[in-house]
Amino acid sequence: MEKGKLQEYWSTNLKYLLGLLVVWFVVSYGFGILLTDPLNAISFGGFKLGFWFAQQGSIYVFVILIFVYVSLMNRLDKKYDVHED
């Protein structure tokens, strides 16, 4: 495949990575650490929100992020015809 196409594939990949990693950072370091104190003022159920992000929420989001990435990349691989088999 020609170089320009591949370049395009790679920069789309980088765009996905950037977006997903921003979410990754915000839920864990943002909500779970830097902003815990203000978020702890909000509570839902028996949880303070900041504490919940640090001990539960961030982990759920991590799992979702990987599956989103997988489906984005599988589609991208097909579109640029770089998928295996």
Closest distance between other proteins and the C-beta of residue 69, in Å? 6
Question: Widest CA span of the chain, in angstroms?
Answer: 57
Residue 41 engages other proteins in binding (rule: CB under 8 A): no
Residue 12: count other Cβ atoms within 10 Å of its Cβ. Answer: 15
- What's the half-sphere exposure (Cβ side, CA atoms, 13 Å) at 80? 19
Residues that bind other proteins (CB under 8 A): 1, 3, 6, 9-10, 13, 17, 20-21, 24, 28-29, 32-34, 36, 40, 44-48, 51-52, 54-56, 58-60, 62-63, 65-67, 69-70, 73-74, 77, 81-85
